Structure 1
């Protein structure tokens, strides 16, 4: 089998952004992930790129112009001037889940550009798989921040892919429903969204019932598999593989976007599933086996030690590279005490997903998929080669390999339990 060409987007400074002391979202987890990547030497097997900043015009390809203008101008120092907009756009509200912090717009530009340029690498044919662990912020809406997400890099990347590929499949294994992505493509048959998530009125975002299946031209192109607490590796595999197999047969995607939210792992601060890293990684490995151009993104994950372990392991899977269970020495050595192991066992949490419950859901989802007549086709036109060069890259070679440094932003140790009032998450 031919080795996959993998593009990897990383920025050593992105971990320095800070949502706030008691906020469960810690961009610092990205610094830990990148540093483990260096420690294992995985960067030597990939083309590594430092993300640029997405331009406001690029962000407006999906988001409302007034919303992007607001994000561009508002800061913690001048927020009093934007009191009405703070409420309108769900940013910086007291007790809200999307705080206003220093460098917010730059943070959005960086994580979004990695996903857009990853899509462009696939479109240009220079990569088979593109990885942007900083991306995957799937809750952001057209004119509103939601669930720790401000700009929806996934939607913007898919819109980019649709300029070249007839059909794009979006798969979401975050513990939370990928509502922002589903909503953006709810009435089109060119994007199929598939989400496996915890569902319930008291669990954010409260959407993603099995009956939510798209509308109009997009009917049956939204696939939701609502799960209960405690699902483990075996049950998740029993759900994931047959559904994705059927989706591939019916939809025949030209490209795949895979959101790998790590809050579906055991011991997550806000999650309620019981997956191990190996169980989570099996989903990545299964999607990879179809040999379709794939954009791999991050997402949720609030036990930062687990997040770093998971995404490094899944990068190794994408590279077909075995890595040792003993974590090599790195800048965050103390975080992985006491055993410094990559893998950890599941907990004793009860799996509330009975065989009968899962089988009935699978039957319903399969029935919906059988309602698809055939993979939709669309009239495409050839894109000029210059299209694939980013606007901000005319003074540097877009294919120049960037050698990552060992320098990382300093962080804190986060070992406390679930924060009160922080239920809406990636």
Structure 2
């Protein structure tokens, strides 16, 4: 596993999806001046479940930049799985914040993938419907969205089985509305056949999986009954298709369980079975009383009957059966590849001469508290845990994800 510090998304990158006015508003507003933007807050739905806080725009930039950089590395064959647990903010709209989400990093990441990939499959296992992503690609066949979520009188109130897309995107939005208390076995019984059917029919060349942890048992805002391993089974199943995979975070409001789930799923992504025994750290007490890497299911009632799930699968398969071919994509020029991230000499001339050790070299060192080092150069390979050091992105121009000519000439056709 390699850990990278992605460049925060720029205003220009954010406006590939979001409006200029909305992005500029997020950049300007702060707790100190928010009273002067009362009208704009109402217009952009900022203030209630999307509060203003110090560092809001920086937070949005970091989240979006991580997903975009992960997508870029997948497209350049630098990795087969990219993870951004700070991403997965699936409710944000083109010009509106929603459900704790301000900038839709998922849409921006998918747009990055579409520069190189013909078809992208988006899978959402957050308990809430992935409405922002579905809305963004509702009229295109280049992105298929599949959302497994709680439906009914529950935020955001969208994601009906009948919502299947419009125009060219008709049949390319797939919603799996579920009821309270779904268990591991019932979730698996619908997740695996649906995804397998979609994979064989749609034939995506890249996959984005939003792994929201609010579908875990015991979540403060959730009402499903998935264990940590039941939730992680979705990651394991999608990984088996051996497609470029962008793995993202999302919701999750019982924090100790979120950290458990995403740590365990990181292990699955890199092919490592993690020990159930948590190491002793300063955060050990947060995981009381069990102090183990586990989120067990509870004894809550599962309202998803076998008949309901059978009928649901039948309706979904019927929708897919109406279209019996893989959508084609118009040929277009392949964009220039970015500079190789491993070419250190590219950035040597750009290093600050007044800095004793530039940030890109500090990023290469990840040292455990219980280890000693005799040299500043140690840690540039693998550390004692087999994890490569955090590395800054080295794309020739350290302030650009791609050169301007390539950026302008490769806008995805959706």
TM-score by length of structure 2 reads: 0.83
1:277-304 CA deviation, whole Å, 9 max, x = no partner?
A: 0000100000000000000000000000
CA distance in 2, matches of 1:386, 1:322: 34
Alpha-carbon distance, 1:319 to partner: 1.1
Say if 2:14 is the partner of 1:63: no
- Mapped pair 1:191 → 2:153: no
Find the residue that maps to 1:386 and give its secondary structure: coil
How many residues align? The count is 355
Q: Which residue is equivalent to 1:141?
A: 93
Tell me, which stretches of 5 or more residues in structure 1 are unaligned?
1-45, 408-426
State the match for 1:22 in structure 2. Answer: none
Instruction: Work out whether 1:318 is the aligned partner of 2:269.
Output: yes
Deviation at 1:52, TM superposition (A): 2.2
* Structure-1 residue corresponding to 2:364: 402
Which residue number corresponds to residue 339 of structure 1? Answer: 290
Partner of 2:386: none
Contact 1:123/1:388 (8 A) holds in 2: no
Structure 2, gaps ≥5 residues long? 352-357, 370-414
Aligned to 1:413: none
- 2:260–2:295 contact (8 Å) kept in structure 1: no
Deviations 1:13-46 (A, max 9, x none): xxxxxxxxxxxxxxxxxxxxxxxxxxxxxxxxx1
Based on CA coordinates, which of the two structures has the bigger radius of gyration?
2
C-alpha RMSD of matched pairs (Å): 1.9
Match of 2:220 among 269, 277, 285: 269
Distance in 1 of aligned mates of 2:269 and 2:57:
31
Map of 1:366-385 to 2, 5 A cutoff?
366-378=317-329, 379-385=331-337
> Among residues 264, 275, 280, which one is paired with 2:231 in the alignment?
280
Deviation at 1:387, TM superposition (A): 7.8
Higher relative contact order (CA 8 A, sep 6+): 1
TM-score, scaled relative to structure 1: 0.81
CA distance 1:405–1:70, shift in 2 (3 Å)? farther
Distance 1:398 1:78, change over 3 A: closer
Partner of 1:151: 103
The worse-fitting range, judged by mean Cα deviation, of 46-55 and 258-267 is 46-55
Q: Secondary structure at the match of 1:385?
A: coil
Aligned runs of 1:37-76 on 2, under 5 Å?
46-76=1-31
- Quick one: which of 46, 59, 80 aligns to 1:91? 46
Equivalent in the alignment of 1:415:
none
Q: CA deviation at 1:398?
A: 12
**Residue range with higher mean Cα deviation, 246-255 or 329-338:** 329-338
Task: Identify the range of structure 1 (375-384 vs 316-325) with the bigger mean alpha-carbon deviation.
Answer: 375-384
Which whole-Å CA distance do the structure 1 matches of 2:274 and 2:37 have between them?
Answer: 49
